[in-house]
Amino acid sequence: MKSNETMTKLPANPERATLDGKNKFLGFWFFLGGETVLFASLFGVYLGLRNATNGGVSANELFELPLVFIATMLLLTSSLTSVFATMALKTNHFKRMIGWFVVTGLLGLAFLGLEIYEFNHYVHEYGHTIKSSAWGSAFYTLVGTHGAHVFVGISWITILIIRNLRRGMDLYTAPKFYLFALYWHFIDVVWIFIFTVVYLMGKVG
Amino acid sequence: MSAHAYKKKNPVWDWLTTVDHKKIGILYLASGAFFFLLGGLEAILLRVQLLYPEFDFVGAETFNQLLTMHGTTMIFLAAMPLIFGFMNAIVPLQIGARDVAFPFVNSLGFWLFTAGGILLNLGWFLGGAPDAGWTGYAPLSTTSPGNGVDFYVLGLQISGIGTLIGGINFLVTIINMRAPGMTFMRMPLFTWSSFITSGLILFAFPALTIGLALLMFDRLFGSQFFAAEAGGNPIIYEHLFWIFGHPEVYILVLPAFGMFSEIIATFARKRLFGYSAMVFATALIGFLGFMVWVHHMFTVGLGPIANSIFAVATMLIAVPTGVKIFNWLFTMWGGKVSFPTANLFAVGFIPSFVLGGMTGVMLSVPPADYQYHDSYFVVAHFHYVIVGGVVFGLFAGMYYWWPKIFGTVLNEFLGKLHFWLFFIGFHLTFFPMHFLGLMGMPRRVYTYLSGQSLDEANFAATMGAFLMGLATIIMVWNIIQTSVKGKKAGNDPWDGRTLEWAIASPAPEYNFAQTPLVRGLDAWWLEKRAGNKAMVAAEPLDDIHMPDSSILPLVLSLGLFIAALAAIYSNWIIAIGGLVITAAAMILRSVIDYHGYHIHKEDLPAEGREGK
Amino acid sequence: MKRWRNVWRFLPLLSVIALALTGCGNEQLTAMLPKGEGAEMQFNLMMLSLYIMIGVFVVVALIYTVVLVRFRRRGESDNEIPEQTEGNVVLEILWTVVPIILLLILAVPTVMTTFALDEGTEKVPEGATVIKVTAHQYWWEFEYPDLEVKTSQDLYIPTGERVYFELVSKDVTHSFWVPTLGGKMDTNTATTNKMWLNAQEPGTYYGKCAELCGPSHALMDFKVIAQEKEDFEAWAEKMKEAGSQAASDQAAQGEEIFANSCIGCHAVGSEGGNTGPNLTNFGDREKVAGILDHTDQNIKDWISNPSEFKPGNNMPAFGDQLNDEELDALVVYLQGLKVEE
């Protein structure tokens, strides 16, 4: 199949037009349900340990909201661009979809870069590590797990784009891109919670 | 099996790469059976050590490893895979489907479980098995010397991923792939139970994933989650573990309940009494199962308010469970009940499980639990419900569905012998334990002092264990004998009620030549009573699309196994290498096109077309 | 054949009930013969829940027996297909509502007793005895802050009043359990738990650790020695004043060895370390290390190689450091550490 601007032969909602697509769609939503419990558990652990600073630095002293705000904006924007990509998918505009996914991936990469810088800063300037206190353990595990999910997402979309750039969209590949978009939205929603529970509550609570 | 092997495979490669739910089912059953024997051996060793006060058969450290591995093996490596084995072998047949929604993921689940199971047991050979109990409470688990607990943490983590994806698979299969006419309220109870169980798996296992991950981080990376000196709190682990652990016991028992519903109805020749109530009760048990976890923590010191709330929630679960018991009894009431071995286990389950449920209600009373908790009373309770419920269910399911899976019938005489010896041994072992607990014997003790009145009951309990061991040997002999020269089975040896009995034994590669049309509950029974010899087809005869087999699930699991083993020994280079193998397998899976192959309609055997 | 089935089912049950009824266990250990206020409340609830559950079991057993006898298939030739009953709404309601009522009957006293057992633990009544319990691998530390007493292994309490405990653990989670007097409470590392016990009559009661804590979890026994109030207060006074004492030359020799080898971990009176048990009244103790009979030979053997008796415990072996004569002197000294006659 060659990539064209519009594939008039594909139905609308190509990601769910086959049994395979329907199964993947439902299966992935269930997977996200499981991931929700995963992150909920991590949030529970974090909330239980947020004041266990072991005599070291506390959230209020440590966090710099401007940096975190920029990171948040990067991720939120990447979610928006993945929405544009999905819209292109549903209307069979392959090149447009790829373009938006590339932007999404780059924004995600920028987010990750900031986060790595942030962690590095905490470790070297404040001695705030995964070992320095129970709060430190909870912080790096929760935020780090989210970061790892972002990393997996970026790898995923990169592979999808490289593999499918030449073949274009068909009923076999559409579900693959759609699932990525679902995943990316999920990661974004988790970040909203992290921003609120970890950073905002850390400064205010 | 099929007369048309499109890719002539050598049998070893076939089994290593299969994505066929029926073969995967057999793989799960065989592995589960192996681990059941291993766990049983561990139990016998435990009981020999407890034969006499201050006995010196195995030392204290070995005993703690045995008790940890007995529990972990039985729950995670025996019961769960056996359950998945039956779900795989039977559920697609019961809903008229040709396979599960994600055959590749199905295979992956099996190989992940295998990798995890092997990793868990490597400790025996590498300096010591885990020894902090199957519950792995911190700080004992985080401070336990040696690598034992590392094998526990990583082995269980890998197995757990397998279970989780298995759960998702069955949820999607049951929702999306039912035959035409099979509405939710026409599904067999075993399928319903599998469905609800899969939902429980999806929402319970991630909590375990996190609990294990935190243990791993404390042990391997020096984090402080459970270190009181640095602000950590071990009670967090207990919460995470039991938020998983309580639903886990319903994950174990609900499929058994489903099996009993089928078996009791079949051998009473009568439809299940109160089908809607049974479905609703199963769902309610599943839902309430998430609301009661603190009853494992009544003595942790959470306070009277928390304890009271969870006490009442726990008592509530008794209600839908009781509803089920009565519905099973009334299924048989007015019926024509026969007692092949499968039904012996089903009927033996009823008083045994009710006893376990009784002690469950007794345990739900926090003040009383302050005495019972961590004593042999609890050991008695959970063995009554797990052995009396889950194990009896698995045995019953084995005798019932063996013909469908293997095409032969297990020997009835040996089966009855197995039942009676096991049933007597089971009660002889676990009934005295109620009294041991009340008389002050804590659990997980490698010995007991003389002069504390604990001798006779311990002796009796060990005798019962020997009986159960003998019964198990007889069962294994039955399996071997039947595999070598068993009596061939027809399609429908029990005059069954559900779709799996409408096709050949064992089922052909593609299950149904034509997807059946379901006209009501107990679809096959309906057709038979209407005088038909086969199910009415819902589609014309056509080419059948089959999924590709793949070696990648095994490779993926191997990568994780290598990574975990390397991590235990802090060899981070190899650990990353293992992860790279896993990632590579995942990438290959994504970029290679898997379009499957077709079985052409001309090649379907004549009998297959009529579904006989 | 059916009747056989029923007999077979109950035979093992009956034989074990017979076994059990040969006595409800050891009087100093069993929860079935309560000697404490808490244990009695708990026993009553146990009985209530048991009777309700037996009632349910009897109903189930009756239906079960009828089903197995009356509705059997009569042989291979019996091919009658019974009526395929769908269900019965009245029955469903009945066996939903009745259990709910039974559970309500259980739930009310349950909640009341749960709160009663917690009474007074946050704000201890004026003049009550308060004991701080610290659990270790594999021994129990007891401190009476108001009475300025520290001891281990044998827990002295006054009878006839609620004694309040603050429970904590030093290393891993343990659980403090004296079945005859009351239920257990876990000892955690990161939080302090509070409970009370009330011994109704004087006596010695056995205590157990009830949470897997390592290889010697089974050997972490302790004793509760309940005494009349005046006796208890006398004991506490003597313990407060007690210190090292050597009544003979051999004992004095032992005292010197103790000062060189043991005092770093073990305190006598207010002198000494606290990584190991306080030994002020060692000579009065019921057992050595909680489990061995209190003989001279056992004391020697224990000191020579503690791990032989309690695998995995933290006390080093002194068998190489101390010769036989030194050990004998040490034993004489230790046996002389008493506050009771």
The string of pLDDT tens digits covering residues B338-372 is: 999 999 999 999 999 999 999 999 999 999 999 99
Residue of C61, C189, C312 lying closest to B234 (CB–CB): C189
Which H, E and C letters describe B253-266, residue by residue? HHHHHHHHHHHHHH
Between the two ends of chain A, the Cα-to-Cα distance in Å is 56
Q: Looking at residue C6, what is its pLDDT?
A: 55
Q: Is the ipTM of this complex over 0.90?
A: yes
- Return the SS3 of C157: strand
Mean pLDDT along residues B418-422: 98
Q: How far apart are CA B150 and CA B187, in angstroms?
A: 42
Q: Looking at residue A3, what is its pLDDT?
A: 46
Determine the residue of chain A that is closest to B101 in CA distance. Answer: A23
Q: Looking at residue A132, what is its pLDDT?
A: 96
Say yes or no: B203 contacts chain A, CB-CB below 8 A.
yes
Q: Is residue A14 scored above 90 in pLDDT? A: no
Q: Looking at residue B3, what is its pLDDT?
A: 42
Q: Calculate what percentage of chain A has a pLDDT beyond 70.
A: 96
Query: What value, to the nearest 5°, has the Cα angle with vertex B571 and ends B559 and B560?
Result: 15
Task: Mutation target for B interface from C32, C114, C119: give the one with most B CBs within 10 A.
Answer: C114
- Return the SS3 of B270: coil
The contacts found for C200-203 with CB under 8 angstroms, 24 or more apart, are C200/C35, C200/C36, C200/C37, C200/C40, C200/C159, C200/C160, C201/C35, C201/C159, C201/C226, C202/C159, C202/C226, C202/C227, C202/C228, C202/C231, C203/C28, C203/C35
B473: how many CB neighbours lie within 10 A of its CB? 14
Say yes or no: B302 contacts chain A, CB-CB below 8 A.
no
Check CB contact under 8 Å for B370 and C24. no
Determine the residue of chain B that is closest to A29 in CA distance. Answer: B168
**Which residues of A fall below an 8 Å CB-CB distance to B?**
19, 22-23, 26-27, 30-31, 33-35, 37-38, 41-42, 44-45, 48-49, 51-54, 130-138, 141, 156, 159-160, 163, 172, 176
Strand C130-136 with C139-144, pairing: antiparallel
Q: Looking at residue C23, what is its pLDDT?
A: 66
Based on C-alpha coordinates, what's the Rg of chain B?
A: 24
For B311-335, write each residue's pLDDT tens digit.
999 999 999 999 999 999 999 999 9
Cβ burial, residue A77 (10 Å; 0-12/13-18/19+) = middle
Chain B residues whose beta carbon lies within 8 Å of the beta carbon of residue A133: 224, 230-231
**Residues contacting A85, CB < 8 A, separation 6+:** A96, A97, A98, A99, A100, A101, A104, A177, A181
Query: What value, to the nearest 5°, has the Cα angle with vertex A48 and ends A42 and A49?
Result: 90
Q: What is the DSSP letter of A196?
A: I
- Helices B455-485, C2-20: axis angle to 10 degrees equals 150
Cα C250 to its chain centre, rounded Å, is 37
Determine the residue of chain C that is closest to B361 in CA distance. Answer: C49
Q: Looking at residue B362, what is its pLDDT?
A: 98
Q: Calculate what percentage of chain B has a pLDDT beyond 90.
A: 95
**Residues contacting A113, CB < 8 A, separation 6+:** none
To the nearest whole number, what is the mean pLDDT of chain A? 93
Q: Mind listing the domains of chain B with CATH numbers? A: 2-550+594-608 (1.20.210.10)
For A162-193, write each residue's pLDDT tens digit.
999 998 888 888 999 999 999 999 999 999 99
Residue of B139, B444, B456 lying closest to C172 (CB–CB): B139
Check CB contact under 8 Å for B206 and A134. no
Contact between A26 and A15 (Cβ < 8 Å):
no
Q: Looking at residue A169, what is its pLDDT?
A: 85
Determine the residue of chain B that is closest to A130 in CA distance. Answer: B223
Q: Looking at residue C15, what is its pLDDT?
A: 60
Q: Is residue B609 scored above 50 in pLDDT? A: no
Q: How far apart are CA B425 and CA A109, in angstroms?
A: 62
Check CB contact under 8 Å for A141 and B230. no
Q: Looking at residue B282, what is its pLDDT?
A: 98
Check CB contact under 8 Å for B303 and C312. no
Asked whether the whole model's pTM tops 0.90, one would answer yes
Q: Is residue B396 scored above 50 in pLDDT? A: yes
Q: Calculate what percentage of chain B has a pLDDT beyond 70.
A: 98
Mean pLDDT along residues B485-506: 95
The Cα of A44 is separated from the nearest Cα of chain B by a number of Å equal to 9
The contacts found for A110-114 with CB under 8 angstroms, 24 or more apart, are A110/A74, A111/A71, A111/A74, A111/A75, A111/A78, A111/A150, A112/A147, A112/A150, A112/A151, A112/A154, A114/A67, A114/A70, A114/A71, A114/A74
Chain B residues whose beta carbon lies within 8 Å of the beta carbon of residue C206: 440, 452
Q: Looking at residue A205, what is its pLDDT?
A: 73
Q: How far apart are CA A83 and CA A73, in angstroms?
A: 15
Q: What share of chain B is helix, strand, coil (3-state, %, to 5)?
A: 70, 0, 30
Query: What value, to the nearest 5°, has the Cα angle with vertex A86 and ends A84 and A87?
Result: 65
Mean pLDDT along residues B113-122: 98
Q: Is residue B384 scored above 60 in pLDDT? A: yes
Residue of B217, B240, B591 lying closest to A159 (CB–CB): B591
- Which is nearest to B166 in space by CA: B221, B87, B267? B87
Q: Is residue B42 scored above 60 in pLDDT? A: yes
Chain C residues whose beta carbon lies within 8 Å of the beta carbon of residue B333: 63, 66-67, 71
Residue of C19, C118, C215 lying closest to B61 (CB–CB): C215
- Return the SS3 of C227: strand
- Which is nearest to B292 in space by CA: B200, B215, B161, B225? B200
Say yes or no: B168 contacts chain A, CB-CB below 8 A.
yes
Q: Looking at residue B133, what is its pLDDT?
A: 97
Chain A residues whose beta carbon lies within 8 Å of the beta carbon of residue B595: 172
In this complex, the chains that touch A, judged by 3 or more CB pairs closer than 8 A, are B
Check CB contact under 8 Å for A27 and B172. yes
DSSP secondary structure string, C43-101?
Answer: HHHHHHHHHHHHHHHHHHHHHHHHHHHHSB--STT--PPPP-----HHHHHHHHHHHHH
Q: Looking at residue B2, what is its pLDDT?
A: 43
Chain B residues whose beta carbon lies within 8 Å of the beta carbon of residue A137: 214, 217-218, 223-225, 232
Cβ burial, residue B390 (10 Å; 0-12/13-18/19+) = buried
Q: How far apart are CA B562 and CA B556, in angstroms?
A: 10
To the nearest whole number, what is the mean pLDDT of chain B? 96
Task: Mutation target for C interface from B439, B441, B459, B494: give the one with most C CBs within 10 A.
Answer: B439
Q: Is the peptide bond preceding residue B506 cis, with omega within 30 degrees of 0?
A: yes
Determine the residue of chain B that is closest to C20 in CA distance. Answer: B435
Dihedral in degrees, nearest 10, Cα atoms B18, B20, B23, B25? 120
Q: Looking at residue B562, what is its pLDDT?
A: 98
Q: How far apart are CA C258 and CA B260, in angstroms?
A: 67
- Helices B392-406, B341-363: axis angle to 10 degrees equals 150
For A115-135, write each residue's pLDDT tens digit.
999 999 999 999 999 999 999
B546: how many CB neighbours lie within 10 A of its CB? 19
Check CB contact under 8 Å for A37 and B222. no
Check CB contact under 8 Å for C80 and B336. yes
C290: how many CB neighbours lie within 10 A of its CB? 26
Q: How far apart are CA B374 and CA C212, in angstroms?
A: 9
Q: Is residue B400 scored above 50 in pLDDT? A: yes
Q: How far apart are CA A17 and CA A8, in angstroms?
A: 14
The reply to whether CATH 1.20.1050.90 applies to domain A14-50+65-204 is no
For B223-282, write each residue's pLDDT tens digit.
999 999 999 999 999 999 999 999 999 999 999 999 999 999 999 999 999 999 999 999
Listed as ranges, residues in chain C with pLDDT below 70 are 1-23
C322: how many CB neighbours lie within 10 A of its CB? 18
Q: Looking at residue A13, what is its pLDDT?
A: 82
